[in-house]
Structure 1
Amino acid sequence: MGKVFGLLGHPVGHSMSPNIHNDAFGHIGIDATYHAFDVDPNFIKDAIAGLKALQISGCNVTVPHKIAVMEYLDEIDEEARLIGAVNTIVNVNGRLVGYNTDGRGFVESLEEEAQIDLQTKRFLIIGAGGAARGIVTSLLRKGIGHLTITNRTAEKATPLLKLAKEFKTQAEVIEKKQAENQLSHYDVIINTTSIGMSPNVEYTPLSLEQLTDKSIVCDLIYNPLDTAFLIEAKKKGCLTINGVGMFVNQAALSFEHWTGKKPERERMRKIVLTNLGGTSC
């Protein structure tokens, strides 16, 4: 029997990960299969023990387990430790090592699609949850010079400010209204919240009335491919980036951790778009 990989989450029925990873294994010629495992939060410790017992070679971790699994792993990569969450586990001769490829997946997507020097840009991050922490960590590791965060609860952004201080990056937390009034100050605006995700597609995380065409506007959401937030930004003449690139890149980086081989990302991207009923981003 070939190697077995999987996804730990709850629920997982909607996941496209089995489609893209099983296709990549077949395309590269690796004898392996990938399965989605729906794990109730009460049994996550048992699930991690099962990875060792069943000699599962590796897995992805999605909501709501990204933080909970860390307690039961043998080793945590430095980037995952900074983020405070794990989305990839590699079984190295019985030792489970945790990584996080989410932030790097987004940053690679931004660099690919926008072709910009990140160190010279001013960033506005909308939200301060787990997704924001992954992206902020990866941006800070790239050496960005200025970071602004706006979140419904300012206190929740405090850990991100502390992280920025560690990297000697100027950072601030501002209220939503202030962010809306000074959108022209930011080169890159990133929505890390779930506001605008299907089925609530009519909502946006903040008003873009003051937006100029000089900003790059990103949304981590990929269902729908174009959120109301991105549609409004396009009307302003902005370059927009949705969450497909981040999803594909984080998956490809996980695949590389497991196998040491690089999958064809464009092939993964086409599978994702087909599943979403779209043809482009």
Structure 2
Amino acid sequence: MMGEIDSCTRLTGLFGHPVGHSLSPLMHNRAFQELGLPYLYAAFDIEPSNIASAVESIRALGLRGVNVTIPHKVAVMPFLDEIDEEARQIGAVNTIVNENGRLIGYNTDGRGYVQSLIEEGNINPPDARVLMLGAGGAARGVSLALLRAGVERVVITNRTYAKAEQLAVELTQLFPGRDIRSIPVEQIACEIKESTLLVQTTSIGMHPDNEASPIPAEYLHSRLLVSDLIYNPLQTRIQRDALAAGARIHSGVGMFIYQGALSFEYWTGRKAPVHIMREAVLASLTADK
């Protein structure tokens, strides 16, 4: 077990606004405790106007690193010394590592998602025919990670079609030769018939709007794996509809846990105790019900 806080304790944390709802401190501190590591994780509510001084404080106070969440994932980038290629392609940073005063930015969201999808969704990325709902930052990160993992076909749809079109163009430039397209939402019914992985990246269905779904239930079919990035509620309306249609489902909890596990490994150099992190998160989510 982790000992008492002393002068050797290293501090990590979360930069966001707001952060009061975050389960990251619970998850990471439980993982540090499990491995007996002298680390602590705290949540820092940073006003957007203070982000430059907040990043500098990582250096000044000797923090080992931080996670970065909404609304700071893009704003922190100009203040870092180095940005990993993957994070640069995504255009956002969710993990900062302090290497002896040099601040390096990474993005573990997409890789965390794919790792979770493979291990929990039992899917082989090169075989997946992906339909992506949404074209924001989460859709970009997940699409890039899926394409890096070998997915050949990604179709993107969004209520504002121009955003889907723009994302498809940018991804095609990075992955020429892949089948990457955008479609208006009116074509979802036809496109979903040819899809095997439906990825829901919008906020539709998030607590407290638990009964909302981005698409009609009758569009879903039994050959689908329906993956929703939302993890509160644990089972969204689209996932309940998917189960009723005979489809399989994949929860956003896995992405949250695995992106955190990758951050943990950057900071500590140790393999993250993923099962312990999952137990802590699920216990908290179910206790809230």
TM-score bracket, normalised by the shorter chain, equals: over 0.9
Q: How far apart, in 2, do the equivalents of 1:15 and 1:7 lie?
A: 9
With normalisation by structure 2, the TM-score equals 0.94
- Matched residue count: 279
> Helix, strand or coil for the counterpart of 2:172?
helix
Structure-to-structure mapping, 1:255-274, within 5 angstroms: 255-274=264-283
Instruction: State the partner residue of 1:6.
Output: 13
Q: How far apart, in 2, do the equivalents of 1:186 and 1:234 lie?
A: 16
Conserved? CA contact 1:182–1:210, under 8 Å = no
Please list every run of 5 or more consecutive structure 1 residues that lacks an aligned counterpart in the other structure: none
Instruction: Supply the AA of the counterpart residue of 1:167.
Output: F
Task: Determine if the alignment matches structure 1 residue 33 to structure 2 residue 44.
Answer: no
Instruction: Supply the AA of the counterpart residue of 1:17.
Output: S
Same amino acid, percent of matched pairs: 49
Q: How far apart, in 2, do the equivalents of 1:127 and 1:73 lie?
A: 29
Instruction: State the partner residue of 1:115.
Output: 122
Q: How far apart, in 2, do the equivalents of 1:137 and 1:82 lie?
A: 8
Instruction: State the partner residue of 2:173.
Output: 165
Instruction: State the partner residue of 1:183.
Output: 192
Indicate the larger mover: 26-35 or 156-165. Answer: 156-165
Conserved? CA contact 2:171–2:180, under 8 Å = no
Q: How far apart, in 1, do the equivalents of 2:265 and 2:163 lie?
A: 33
Q: How far apart, in 1, do the equivalents of 2:117 and 2:28 lie?
A: 23
> Helix, strand or coil for the counterpart of 2:21?
coil
Q: Deviation per CA, 1:129-168, whole angstroms, max 9, x where unpaired? A: 1111110110111121111000011221213432233212
Q: How far apart, in 1, do the equivalents of 2:112 and 2:36 lie?
A: 24
Instruction: Supply the AA of the counterpart residue of 2:122.
Output: Q
Task: Determine if the alignment matches structure 1 residue 103 to structure 2 residue 110.
Answer: yes
> Helix, strand or coil for the counterpart of 2:12?
strand
Instruction: State the partner residue of 1:47.
Output: 54
Please list every run of 5 or more consecutive structure 2 residues that lacks an aligned counterpart in the other structure: 1-6
Conserved? CA contact 2:168–2:181, under 8 Å = no
Q: Which of structure 1's runs of 4+ aligned residues deviate more than 3 A? A: none
Q: Deviation per CA, 1:188-243, whole angstroms, max 9, x where unpaired? A: 00000110000011111112313210111010000000100100000000110110
Instruction: State the partner residue of 1:249.
Output: 258
CA RMSD of aligned residues (A): 1.3
Instruction: State the partner residue of 1:147.
Output: 154
Instruction: State the partner residue of 1:128.
Output: 135
> Helix, strand or coil for the counterpart of 1:272?
helix
Conserved? CA contact 1:183–1:208, under 8 Å = no
Q: How far apart, in 1, do the equivalents of 2:102 and 2:171 lie?
A: 29
